Each structure stands twice: as structure tokens, then as C-alpha cells.
Structure 1
Amino acid sequence: MRPGKSSSNGAKLLVQSLQAQGVRYIFGVPGGAVLSVIEALAEQGPEFVVCRDETGAAFMAQAWGRITGQPGVVLTTSGPGLINAVCGVSTATEDRDPLVIITGQIPRAMRFKQSHMNLDSVQLFAPITKWSVEIEAADTIPEIVVNAFRIAAAPRAGAVHLSLPTDVAKAAAVLGQARLPVVLLGMRAGEESASAAVRALLQRCPLPVVMTFEAAGALSRDQLDRFVGRVGYVRNQPGDRVLQQADAVLAVGYDTVEYDPTEWASPERGHLIHLDALPALVDRSYRPTVELIGDIAANLVALADRLTSAPLVAMEAIAAARDELREEQQRGAGLDGAPIHPLRFMHELRAALSDEVTVSCDVGAHEIWMARYFFCYEPRHLLFSMGHQTMGVALPWAIAAALARPGRKAVSVSGDGSFMMTCMELETA
């Protein structure tokens, strides 16, 4: 938005449009180009969370979007203010989290002059957002806000339809004929409706399950006997070995940004079923035999209706990989001495926290230990940045989690380097 004669009315209309979208918090740093918006927020809400830096503000909005499913909102001034938010905005895009950023702008008359804080923000954000647009007139604000929220929350390809029933039947046949079918859960399997459908499918057909870091929490405690580990960085975990042995993989909500398919997928190895809201990004390794595109939960329900019990080989693979994973995890309870072994830390942290606590994890060596051995049983309650691998996200994410889930605890886990990058946000908390 640009300040000017109608900026006050435009600001009020913007705030009303945000209220209509159910926005509860806006994260940002005050600045001259957005003072009229901040004044309107002070009069009628939503609550403006004043942060110490725009990067942290964007991280908080990102986490709000991931946890609630509703786009988090960032408000920045022009020039350096919006530049500071670039890393957080790019992280949200690459991590596939819904976010709307609103930035201030200098008056149009100053656009082609050498003026302070003169920056083409539309072009700056275009490569790192799904849609970058300038509000040209106040009366267009409501429709632009509605479209912004819809585009932010929608999958990359926009609106899509359910697959034909014949596709579901073919997928069921592939799984039914496989010697060792395996389920790979990706980031969109961690959404509440999708995770509920995943749990129902596994209740009916207890297949081996591996998951990416971003899918943490998709399984409940009572389904741990199906879980053989998370996969991500390197191919040396029980889950990786099960994937290598599989002759059919059901990839649910998987995004190639989470785990390079060249590390685990191959057309020669067996069949691949891609079940997601988005068509597969096909490459030489990731070539689905069947695609079920549309509502993830609905397709899982339709698929579950056609599945029966898992084959014996699959049950044996579950037992071997599960036992290996549990033995290593439980070893942490017996590790004493100093410095504290990471496995011991995982053991103590899990024992100290209830399942309702949101845990945000920064990027670093500790992240690998958390991903492998810290189990989570609620969707979107263990947060990683696998798409952009941005250091410094954990503390801002935890702050946003505390707002998104009032009355529930949030824990931030960081290494010394990543903590120092956004430790100033402790003052925001």
C-alpha cells in the first residue's frame, strides 16, 4: 500500500478485509509507510504483534500458517523493512506454508525518482511467492485480500478435482499385489484431515510407514508398531532400508523438496503411487505408476475401502526395522555422563513433554537427532524447515505456536549458532 490522501480509508478497509478472513494476529515491525494500517489495527484489531526484526516476524507468520492451516500475516514498511522479510517469506514458500505479506510503498509520484526506500517490491517478491501484486485502488482491496488468502492456502497448482474411481481401483490393485508395499508420508500428510485418514487406512491395512521430517505427528501413539522411521538427509536409517526393499510405495502428500527422490525412488525398483493435492513433479527417479490427485483425505478413504490386510513380508519388515529403531532410541535412557549424549537428551525431552506440546526444531546437527529419535503423535506439533533449511526459525515458530494454541506449551530446540540468529525474539515472547 502507498500512503496518501486515501490511506486512512484504505487502511481501515484493509483491516476489515483481514478481519473477514478470520485473521487474529499480524506479525511485524512498525514503519512510516504502514502507520495508517497500524493505527487502524489499534482501533479495531486484529492484534499487531510487534517483533524485533522482520525476519522473525515472517517466521512467526509461517509457523502460524503451518499449524493452523490459515495464512499467517506479516506487515512491514517499505525499503529495508520488506527486504528483511525476504528470507522468512522465501522459507514459507519453499516449506509450502501459507503466508500473506503486506508491505508499505512510497507514493507513486516518487516511483521513477531517486528517492529513499524506493524499491520495486512486486518484482522483488515475485520469484519467492505464488502471487505478487500491488493494490492500485482502495476499492479493489477486498477482492485482492480474498484472492491472496485463497492462493496462499491452495496447493501450488491451484484448485484440483478428485481422481476417477478407476485410479483408486488401480492403486489398490498395485498395493494388493505387492510383496512389500510401504507408505511414505510427506508434509501434506501432516495436515489434520489427511493424518486422520492416514490413521484410518493403517487401522484397516497395517502397512510399514516411513515419513519425512515434515510429516511428523501423522501417526498416533497406538500405531507405532507400523512406524519404521523418518527419512531425510542420508540413506542409513531403518526407514531408508525398508524403502529400498519396497516393490510398491504409496507416497502421501510427499513433496520432492523434502527428500530428493533420487535417494530412494527408481522406476526399476517397483511401483510408485502418488497421492496428493498436486500432480507429481516428475523426474527420472520419481515416475508414478498411478496418481491420485485431489483431496488427500477423500482419496485415502476411497483407497482404504479397497484394501485388506498387509502381506506377511510387510509385517516381517515392520518388525525388524521397528525393533532396530526402538533399540537405538531406548539406548538414550542408559547414557550417563558429560557432555550429555544427544540420545539422552531426546529421551529426557520426550519424557518431560505431553503430546500436546508443540516442538519447533532449528536447522543443524541436532535436527538430525530430533528427526530420527524424537517421536511426535499429533499433526503439526513437531516443526522442521526441510524445504529451505533456514537457521533461526525455531524460536519465532515457538512464539507463533504459543499464540496459535493458547494454553498449550511450545518448546524451541536450537543449536548455539541457530539460536543466536533470532535470539532477540525472546523479547517478543
Structure 2
Amino acid sequence: MEKRAARRLTGTGGVLLVRALEQLGAERVFCVPGESYLPVLDALHDASIPVTVCRQEGGAAMMAEAFGKMTARPGICMVTRGPGATNAAAGVHVAQQDSTPMILFVGQIETGMRGRDAFQEVDYRQFFGGMAKWVAEIEDPARIPEMLSRAYHVATSGRPGPVVLALPEDMLAQTAEVAELPAFVPLETHPSLAQMADLQKRLWAAKRPLAILGGSRWSEGARAAFTRFAERFQLPTACSFRRQMLFDNLHGNYAGDVGIGINPKLAERVREADLLLLVGGRLSEMPSQSYGLLDIPQPRQTLVHVHAGAEELGRVYLPDLAIHATPNGFCAALEALQPPNAIAWEGAAATAHDDYLAWSGARPQVPGALQMAQVMDWLEQHLPEDAILANGAGNYATWVHRFHRFRRLNTQLAPTSGSMGYGLPAAVAGKLKYPERMVVCFAGDGCLQMTMQEFGTAAQEGAAIITIVVDNGMYGTIRMHQERDFPGRVSATTLVNPDFAAFARAYGAHAEMVETAAEFAPAFERAAASGKPALLHLKLDPEAITPVRSLSQIRAG
């Protein structure tokens, strides 16, 4: 069949860039404006792509990263040169650690000024080279379609991650004629028949198998196919750190999350497994309990590692069976596998699930009038199944990760990189992608203040998120470690905080102070009914440092 010639388009670099993004299917741009890429901003004025104006480049990059998490396509962020780019590095790092497709466009000085340490000049290849999958500069507007097509494929293929493209000012003003791009279609890799036959033999020979799901590139179809496989094989299935949404937490095969503060019974189950099926994830420091659950380089357990990035197979752990495939490709192939006539581990999934229910159903008491266990209890009974929960880093996040039961895909926005400040911008991105769904941001008082200015972005966009600020007047995680290692010697971990509710009201939001668990339910209902961005300022006793241990207990050892 003869191929139809691509249509031609003439325009400035700014116009060609925006048109290429439209052709590739970009849904939204997150940005902080800068004079270094004014032609792009001008072209966006007439484009079909919505633009979200953020308050700081780190927040903009985190929003783009969260958008990439939800769509499995590159989240798009645009920032200006120098300090704009360096601020955005926080979000680029999240994308790298979390294996999220993202493209950061950076305005750049004119090409003729390079190498003179011109105003806000940065060598982006050096700066982002160890963090991004690919860093390049578009020097000729005629190459924009080529470079953007490559950026989309690099960001999404194999182990996804961030791409950084610098845009010189003079290039954006120059004119060129280019061919239009076709819509972007992600590449999928699939396992071989021999590999799937090998996997079935290993499963048939196993006595104590366990699956751990993680990573990115999951879809509803892949999730459903793996669930059917787990049901047929009665396979206990866990999820990796901050990836609980990959398997219905109330499904009878769910064994819990392999992350920080792991259920000791689940940790033992991982250690004692004779076959580990690791799909999509890398089992890095946090889920592996500081690389203690599996021996390196040769695990004691038979390891079947499935990953979309060939470079990740054997990088840390030597797998007995390495399968280079995306979750979509691998899970589709699982449909052909059949369980043995007699399942040697029959009943193990039910036992593992009971252990998970007991662990996540515990309601520990903490010092003070505000009992977070009661707050979580109420949320578990009233949040819709498709509610999106976003959080950053800190001890407060333990309440979400241990006690919330994720039921559906795309209901969790949390950084495996452990980046503070992530929750609020991620929640804004979640609400813009799914405006019909409830979006709840959990943030600690220290975490929120990393990106608190993005509440202004929520207000400007009319993104009716509900932010729950857990305020204990300190950098809680650091204080916990400090009290453990240097008891009674508090240094640089105390915070003097604002009235967060008053701050939110200054943006026209609904906001309330909550000091007891009894006050929480009606306050949350009023926040949800307001139809506006909302913030609930929860005052937590400083002694309530974790769900299971107070500060005084940590000091006492």
C-alpha cells in the first residue's frame, strides 16, 4: 500500500514546537513563563493544549511528572533558563527515580552567546546528564519534529524517564518548513513463548511463590490480566513501595505492600519464598528493606524478573529467568498459562491476605486529642473507590500507606523518590486530569511548605482538591531519626508554622482548623461540599511521631 505523504507546515520554531506537541497528543502543558521561550508561549495562545501556570518550577515539574504517571505518556513542563531549570530539577529527579515519562523544555540563551557565561547560562547536558534519559538542544527549527518524536519515544520506552530539551531563543524565532507528525503510539515489548513456558514450569515446581508488582507502564488491561492470573494460580500478590494501586487491596490474593514499615509477616514471606515473580519494579532500596530481603547479586529465592528496560535485568539482582517485556505485553501473555492440577501453596493467598487485613486494620492510639486512626477510619468508610490520594514524604504518609486500601489504578500519586513537597502539585495535576473525581492531598507541615505556593495554582485552575495538613511542628522523619541516634539533642528539626487555614482562605479556598478526630468528619464534608480548593489544618501532638511509637518511646530506645 502506498504511503500518503505527510502534510507540510511552515512556521517559527515556537509554532512548530507547539504544533508537534499537538500532533503527538500532548494533553496539557505545565509551566512557569520566561522571556527565553516567548515564541512558544505565543504559539500556545492559539493552540488546543491547555496551559497551567504554576508558581515555581519545581511544582510545575512535579505536576508534569504526576500527569505522566497517570497517562503513561510524557508529562510536559516548560521553564525558563538558569534558575528556572535548576528549580525544575526536583521534579526531574522524581521522574527519574519513579520511572515516569516526562519532557522538560528549557528556554536557552541565543546560540551565538554560548560559552561566555551569558546571563543565566547553564550547560544542560552537564546539569541534567546524570538525571535524565536524554538531554539535547534543538539548534535548527527544521529538526523539531525529529527531536520531539525521539523525545517521546525515549521518555516512554524501556524504563520510562525524563527527557530535557533546551530551546535557544534565536532558534524559536527562526522559520522552517517541516512535515507534520503522526499521533504517538507507545512501543510494547512482549515475552517469548519459550520464556512463558519456562515460567509455567517454575511455577508448577514452586512451593512458596510470591508476586511483587511495581514500576510504571501499567494499564487497566494489564492490571486485570494479572488479577485473573493470580486468581487461577491462587498466587499471593504484593505491591512495591508506593505502588499499592496496582492490585485491588481488598482482593483475596492481596498480600500487602513491600515498602517502608513493611508488615513483618510479609517481609518474612518474601524471605521464605522459593519463587519471586517481580513484575515491572526494580526492588530498590526502600522496598528491599535496604537491600536486605534478597541477596546480591544472587538471590536465595528463584527470581523471575520482568521489566520493560533490558538494562534493569541483572543490574542489581541476577534473575533465574529474565523477561524483557512491558507490563502490558507480559500480562497479556499470562492468559495462556495454566495452573498445576494440585497447587502446592493452596491457601497461602488467603493467609497472606488475612495478615494484610489485620496489619492495615489496626487502629493504634497516639498521644494527643487528635487520633489519626479515627481520621483514617472515617476516610476508609467514606472515600469513593476512585478517589485519588496524593502525598509527598514524611512520617505522616505512613497513615496513608499502611491504613488506606487502594482499590483502583490511578488512585495513588506518591513519589518513590521520597521527595517532600510532591503531594500538593501532584494533587492539582490529578484533579486537572480527572476533574470528576475526588482528589485528596496528604501533606506534613514541613512537606507542604516546600511547594505551598502551588495552592495558588489550584485556586487559579479551580481545582477543587482537599488538602489535609498534618501539623506536628517539626520535620518529623528527621526528628525521629535524630531522637533515635542522638536522644534529647534536638537540632534543626523544629518548625514555627503559619496558620495554614488562614493561608488557604487568602486564596479564596475553604479552610478549617481541626484539633480532634470528632471535628474531622464534618469539616471534611464541608470541604467537599464547598466545590472549591479546600484545606484542613490538623493539629497533631508532637509526641505522635509514628503510628506505633511516640517520641518518648524512641528516645528510650
Q: Which 5+ residue runs of structure 1 have no aligned equivalent?
A: 1-7
The match for 1:239 among 263, 266, 273 is 266
Cα contact 1:89–1:128 (8 A) shared by 2: yes
Distance change in 2, residues 1:39/1:175 (3 Å) = same
Residue 313 (structure 1) shift: 5.8
Could you tell me which of 366, 378, 395 is aligned with 2:408? 378
Structure 2 match to 1:423: 452
Other structure's SS at 1:58 match:
helix
Distance 2:126 2:79 in 1: 16
Equivalence for 1:324: 355
Q: 1:121 to 1:205 in 2, by over 3 A?
A: same
Q: 1:138 corresponds to which residue?
A: 141
1:98 matches 2:101: yes
What is the aligned residue count? Answer: 419
TM-aligned CA deviation for residue 426 of structure 1:
0.6
Match of 1:302 in 2: 333
Of the three residues 441, 450, 455, the one matched with 1:412 is: 441
2:226 maps to which of 180, 188, 198: 198
| TM-fit CA distance, 1:378 | 1.1
Matched residue SS, 1:103 = strand
Letter matched to residue 427 of structure 1: G
Q: 1:55 to 1:189 in 2, by over 3 A?
A: closer
Give the corresponding residue for 2:47. 44
Which structure has more helix as a fraction of its residues? 1
1:29 to 23, 29, 32: 32
- For 2:213, the equivalent position in structure 1 comes to 185
The alignment partner of 2:231 has SS state of helix
What is the SS of the residue equivalent to 2:246? Answer: coil
Map residues 270-285 of structure 1 onto 2, 5 A cutoff.
Answer: 270-279=301-310, 280-282=312-314
Q: Percent identity?
A: 28
Give the one of 154, 158, 169 matched to 1:155. 158
Structure 1 residue aligned with 2:419:
390
- Residues 89 and 142 from structure 1, CA distance in 2 versus in 1: closer, same or farther, beyond 3 angstroms? same
Q: Name the CA shift for 1:112/1:327 in 2 (closer, same or farther; >3 Å).
A: closer
- The whole-number CA distance in structure 2 between the counterparts of 1:220 and 1:321 is 14
Aligned-residue offset at 1:236: 4.5
Q: Which of 279, 286, 289 is the equivalent residue of 1:252?
A: 279
1:190 CA drift (Å): 4.3
The CA distance in 1 between the partners of 2:407 and 2:340, in whole Å, is: 24
Change in Cα spacing, 1:189 to 1:57, as seen in structure 2 (3 Å) is closer
Question: Structure 1 residues 353-362 or 310-319, which shifts more?
Answer: 310-319
The one-letter amino acid paired with 1:240 is A
Do the aligned partners of 1:59 and 1:88 also contact (CA within 8 Å) in 2?
A: yes
Q: Deviations over 1:301-346 (max 9, x none)?
A: 33342231696663443333332332243333x9699433343333
SS at match of 1:427: helix
Q: Tell me if structure 1 keeps the 8 A contact 2:29–2:77.
A: yes
Normalized per residue, the structure richer in strand is: 2
Q: Tell me how far apart the structure 2 counterparts of residues 17 and 299 of structure 1 sit (CA, whole Å).
A: 31
Name the structure 1 match of 2:385: 355
Partner amino acid, structure 2, of 1:177: A
Please state if 1:214 is matched with 2:214. no
User: What is the correspondence of 1:43-82 to structure 2 with a 5 Å cutoff?
Assistant: 43-82=46-85
1:190–1:217 CA contact under 8 A, matched in 2: no
C-alpha distance in 2, partners of 1:204/1:165?
Answer: 19
Report if the CA contact (8 A) 2:253-2:349 is conserved: yes
